[in-house]
Structure 1
């Protein structure tokens, strides 16, 4: 049986109503959503805000050995906030939804598999008459996925399960936040302020007591030396932090020198399957992943794995089905503090799909991988030719080299995945590519 893949990477439910969209523009987000192609099987229906160029679709399906001719591509109608996103208006667009009835029968669809399960995914499930056969539909249809992707709700779930997390508070009161932040800063410790419906470090801000302190995991850092400065800063920025007063704000003690790591699972009717693990590369916010990266070297790995599985079991018991990642911070002293959960496809999901389908191995082992987004002055075809001319193109026999995992966006960015038999070899491929292309 086949599925409907929905590339709804950017939704108001996921990032907040008042989110600032990426500078590369919404069409670039539409290209990013094409990463879901790495999980496509024969006869799937692929729903995207921007249909992939034929050349990129052929490239992906050739590597995954998927029959491109068997796939059906549906481009979503344009609505707020613009071309490049799967608009919430799709859930009310009768002509858009109507086509899924016939397509679902023709392709023998049994479920909808979205990047993120929102109201559009629910509407498509009903239109395709697969709501009852889509795993976890009842929980998702009632907004359960939105609840679990909240950083504020995560802290409550983690504390209830006894999972180690950073010290902090969740509040709707800027004075409460200021009291906590001022106390930490007076003690010489930094804090990180998080918009609880953002991802990839977007919306985060580090407030620290000393100039030039480390600020990994946030777009901006602010030096505040007194309680008065803390009060003024939080009061003046509270509308941004709280999404115009609609959301709670998370403020936590910032632990410097941490290694960001993750574990990814697939929660199904049969249980919990490990799907991948790795290190998140930060510069200062998300700059790619390394698989397995430094996660295998941290002293607290076994404890982190136990905690991550406990969280996955909790989430599965609530009724969620689909991909889930657990992010952690391996502290210099040893323990791994769990940072958040992402109940959706993540920035690593397509890479682990690639690892299983192209390399023929489980995502957790066998090869070493580095994935990053970089700038190119060329189109997809010429970018590939430059990679090949430098001897970096993927070698099908050795199963090493560079794969282009995301087509070139309107702002001239593309994503590459460098694969080696060792961490050193994967890094050498990535370094050679970095020398060939400009950094993002």
Structure 2
């Protein structure tokens, strides 16, 4: 049966961390859902995709031109992202009811089952057919996207995690952070329910620490400075005193990786993994994890633990996709950082790998994601990529794929997926794209 696919980038709390000038980019990322769509699906997106881009993406994904219907709710306070008020528009809800009825849609597939999305799903009568909906609707969405909950589950199942604490008091955080700093280590503070490193802050005593994976870096020279800084920042760490915060040892020089799995009633399937590029927060990915890291004992342990963690989530009642972050430390360990019970920011790249690149792409191809490309209008960008010999070629299974277009308010910009035979070839394409479309 057909699905109602909802391209909501994340939860409502995360929108507070997105700068106003980045909202269009966040909203346009709903286009990533096109790559996993099936014939007859209806996609709810924050902004209308360029018709030329939609035709290009559906064709590459192996879909007929009219296989999908795109629905965009009226503008709201979020403007270019999907927000609660846009889903509460009565005319929009009534229109969706008719589409659900006429197309025989029996379930929803949102990027993230957040509260306002769950309400829409219930209004449309799709709650019974949506796998795992009951668990997520009763607070499971918060549990499985919470760094606080993650540390509890990880510790209870012997998952390797950084030394750390979960706390609701600044005094306890000061003691823990200073114990790390006074012994020459660094610390990282994490908001409970943020993503992409936007809710993280590294704390160190000197500027010799490269703070990747965090949007903020604070230098604190002594215990008094730690106390002053943490007290001042406490409302930010805790979302206005509403949540607990996580403090961990920061393992500088580590390689950030992640993996994704599909959890169903019957099984758990790992379907992809890769390395995260940080600048200093997530700035694209490399699929799969390239050598030499892919050949280490720590990476092998990562895959084993990933499957076990997904199995724990399945036993809790979760159904759907999960993406899990970890690091490979310089001393040869794997440490897990968080889980997210939802689509990942790169789930669409695995769909592109399976549907477009094909064969055993994780073994014989490398996909590099570039999240900020200065593409002109799509028709022009496509023409110039082809003229430069960069457009994706199904025969060689190499070239540039455009997964998202129109990330800027004027309808230009986008993201690129560079497909090479190895990392070096993909990175050469990335450089060529940057030269062809300079920022």
Matches within 5 A, 1:18-167: 19-80=16-77, 82-167=78-163
Q: 1 CA distance for matches of 2:319 and 2:350?
A: 18
Aligned-residue CA RMSD in angstroms?
1.8
Cα deviation for residue 377 of structure 1 reads 6.0
CA pair 228-293 structure 1, distance change in 2 beyond 3 A: same
Match of 2:12 in 1: 12
Output the TM-score relative to the length of structure 1: 0.94
Bigger CA drift: 296-305 or 306-315? Answer: 296-305
Superposition pairs for residues 335-354 of structure 1, below 5 Å? Answer: 335-354=333-352
How far residue 212 of structure 1 moved from its aligned partner, in angstroms, is: 3.1
Please, which of 182, 187, 197 is the counterpart of residue 201 of structure 1?
197
Distance of 1:41 and 1:93 partners within structure 2: 27
Q: Which residue of 1 aligns with 2:400?
A: 402
Identify which range, 323-332 or 266-275, moves more after superposition.
266-275
Which is further off, 23-32 or 296-305? 23-32
Separation in structure 2 between the aligned mates of residue 393 and residue 335 of structure 1, nearest angstrom: 39
Aligned with 2:323 (options 306, 325, 330):
325
Q: In 1, distance between residues paired with 2:315 and 2:65?
A: 37
1:428 deviates by 2.0
* Range moving further from structure 2, 327-336 or 426-435: 426-435
Residue 213 of structure 2 is aligned to residue 217 of structure 1: yes
- Per-residue CA shift, 1:76-106, capped at 9, x if unaligned? 23333x2112212345443322223321232
Summarize the alignment of residues 253-292 of structure 1 with structure 2, pairs less than 5 Å apart. Answer: 253-292=249-288
Cα shift readout 1:3-39 (whole Å, capped 9, x = no counterpart): 11101104314x27xx232353322222121111111
Per mean C-alpha deviation after superposition, the further-off stretch among 65-74 and 32-41 is 65-74
Q: Distance in 1 between matches of 2:188 and 2:313?
A: 26
Once the two structures are overlaid, the 10-residue window that deviates more, 207-216 or 55-64, is: 207-216
- Counterpart in the other structure of 1:229: 225
Moved more, 82-91 or 395-404: 82-91
Q: Which residue of 1 aligns with 2:419?
A: 419
Q: CA deviation at 1:161?
A: 0.6
| Structure-1 separation of matches of 2:103 and 2:296 | 46
Please state how far the C-alpha of 1:299 moved relative to its aligned partner: 2.8
Return 5+ residue gaps in structure 2 as ranges.
none
Distance in 2 (CA, whole Å) between partners of 1:296 and 1:96 is: 47
TM-score (norm 2): 0.94
SS in 2 for 1:8: coil
For the residue of structure 2 that corresponds to 1:313, the secondary structure is helix
Secondary structure of 1:333's aligned partner: coil
- Kept in 2: contact 1:112–1:124 (CA 8 A): no
Paired residues in the alignment total 435
C-alpha distance after superposition, 1:349-391 (max 9, x if no partner): 0000111111223564332110111241622222223322221
1:200/1:285 contact within 8 Å kept: yes
**Cα distance, 1:246–1:135 mapped onto 2, change above 3 Å:** same
What is the CA-CA distance between 1:126 and the residue it aligns to?
2.5
CA distance in 1, matches of 2:368, 2:53: 20
| Superposed CA offset, 1:176-197 (max 9, x none) | 1111111111111110111121
Task: Work out the CA distance in 2 between the residues paired with 1:92 and 1:362.
Answer: 44
Instruction: Name structure 1 gaps, 5 residues minimum.
Output: none
Q: What is the DSSP-based 3-state SS (H/G/I as helix, E as strand, rest coil) of the residue aligned with 1:43?
A: coil
Contact 1:300 1:335 in 2 (8 A): yes
Q: Which residue of 1 aligns with 2:389?
A: 391
Cα distance in 2 for residues equivalent to 1:246 and 1:68: 47
- Partners of 1:133 and 1:351 in 2: how far apart? 27
Q: Partner of 2:106: helix, strand, or coil?
A: strand
Closer, same or farther: CA 406–64 of 1 in aligned 2, 3 Å: same
Superposition misfits of 4+ residues, deviation over 6 angstroms: none
**1:275-308 Cα distance to aligned partner (Å, 9 max, x none):** 2111111111111010113352333112111111
Q: Cα deviation per residue 1:256-286 (whole Å; 9 max; x = unaligned)?
A: 1111111110111221112211111111111
Distance between the aligned counterparts of 1:119 and 1:90, measured in 2?
A: 14
Deviations 1:325-365 (A, max 9, x none): 11110011111000111111111100001111112235643
Tell me the equivalent position of 2:186.
Answer: 190
The verdict on how the C-alpha distance between 1:192 and 1:365 changes in structure 2, with shifts beyond 3 A counting, is same
